[in-house]
Amino acid sequence: MSHSNEATNGYACPSGDKECPKNMDRKNEMRLEFDSRSCNEGFVRVAVAAFMTQLNPTLEEVADVKTALSEAVTNSVIHGYEGDVQKITITCYIMEQEIFVEVADKGCGIENVEKAMEPLFTTKPDSERSGMGFAFMEAFMDEVKVKSVVGEGTTVFMRKKIGQAYNKFDQ
């Protein structure tokens, strides 16, 4: 887990970070931009699930990615834009047996990322928010990083190895 209010270097090449995975020529990428409406969450889940099928994931792996993705999108809709309709961008790429998912908004940003990532922390205690979004992302993905700047937006980077029980040499 990594979090910061400043740019983080890591695997998130599509967002312009300096460090990218090795063998980028063996990558497949897709990008979606959609309105920050809760009704679009299902579409995004299906699109990313369809994209990751090229890795031959188990149903559990697909469900894990879809759950983490839902949490990140919901955070953008509810917290990032606070109900205003703006754009959310999802960039996914696959390299070898890993899927990388980036969910970005240009909303209000997170003042204290470390605090926001604590289980049960919520900025909206009067609503039906449980404060478990980041905890779920971390539980279902192998890596979660958050980059946020107040007034500029938030980007959540997630990575998951697919087919961990799968041995590609058995082909």
Question: What is the per-residue pLDDT across 98-133, written as a single tens digit (0 to 9) for each?
Answer: 999 999 999 999 887 776 667 655 666 566 655 567
Distance CA 70, CA 156 (A): 12
Report the pLDDT averaged over residues 15-21: 49
Domains identified in the chain, total number: 1
Report the pLDDT averaged over residues 151-170: 79
Contacts of 33 (CB under 8 A, 6+ apart): 87, 88, 89, 90
Q: What is the CATH number of the domain that holds 9?
A: 3.30.565.10
Q: In whole numbers, what is the pLDDT of the chain averaged over residues?
A: 81
Question: Which of these is catalytic: 96, 129, 138, 143?
Answer: 129
In a domain, 171, yes or no: no
Q: Give catalytic status of residue 75 as yes or no.
A: yes
The whole-model pTM stands at 0.78
Q: Give catalytic status of residue 129 as yes or no.
A: yes
Question: Which of these is catalytic: 75, 98, 102, 159?
Answer: 75
In a domain, 167, yes or no: no
In a domain, 170, yes or no: no
Q: Is the dihedral of CA 129, 62, 27, 170 positive or negative?
A: positive
Question: Which of these is catalytic: 41, 61, 71, 102?
Answer: 71
- Report pLDDT for 113: 73
Q: Give catalytic status of residue 143 as yes or no.
A: no
More confident residue, 167 or 93: 93
